[in-house]
Amino acid sequence: MATAKKAAKKPAKKPAAKKPAKKPAAKKPAKAAKKPAKAAKKTAAKKPAAKKSAGKRKPNAAFMKAMTPSAMLAAVVGNSPMPRTEVTKKIWDYIKKNKLQDSINRRLINADEKLKAVFGGKGKVSMFEMTKLVSNHLK
């Protein structure tokens, strides 16, 4: 019985395969005509986002908490307690002042002696890795 079903299905597939090959050629212009209509519907369906009247954005309290830098980090940014955002700003000021940003790949920082101590002895550090390494020196 299973062989009879397979035999019955095979002839049905062959004629069906020939017909769709002819139909897509006829449908292509119709699809192209429908696409702009769909795009027009989508743009009409979009509504302007409702704006919040919250005023000024509140900073995250965790970023604003004063942290004490380690002795190695204090050599670069100073030893007074300051928030993480200020530490990052001061490190970038130090990097730009001493021209430690890589000239070819601007995402890399070429560490001098002071920064090598902060970066755990690494000579080159990406700017994304830098924040991770600096956070180890904040208490």
Q: Using a cut of 0.85, tell me whether the model's pTM lies above it.
A: no
pLDDT of residue 21: 56
* Residue 116 predicted with pLDDT over 80: yes
Please enumerate in sequence order all residues whose Cβ is within 8 A of that of 110, keeping only pairs 6 or more positions apart, or say none. 100, 101, 102, 123, 124
* Residue 70 predicted with pLDDT over 90: yes
